[in-house]
Amino acid sequence: MKILKGALAVLGVIGLIVAAFLLARFALDARELIGAAQRYDSAKAIQSPFTTTALVTGLGVLAGFLLGLAAGLPSLTRRQIEREAAAGIAARPAPVVPPAPAGGSYEPPAPTV
């Protein structure tokens, strides 16, 4: 589980970095598109920025989802939790039971509420 958590965290961070890069590239493309539209320059072929926007949005959502999964996964495996619980139980002292009275059987006192 720890390996999966680490891998998802790394993928999420890489996705966020790529999304930031693509968003910066989109900003430059949009600036170029606006400049071309203002000059009425029809000779230069400029791609539509909407494809890039959809890609950046999808990548950001995916990266956020992966980081959320990584943050939500437990940091300890099931075996580690079981070992810690067993060690805690073994470390506790055994309960002391007083000896039974000479004339009969022992009944523990009633619990107080």
pLDDT of res. 1: 66
Which tens digit of pLDDT belongs to each residue from 61-73?
888 888 888 888 7
Instruction: Check: pTM over 0.85? Answer yes or no.
Output: no
Amino acid identity for residue 59 in this structure: L
Residues 23-37 have pLDDT tens digits of: 778 877 777 777 777
Rounded (10°) CA dihedral 36, 42, 48, 49: -10
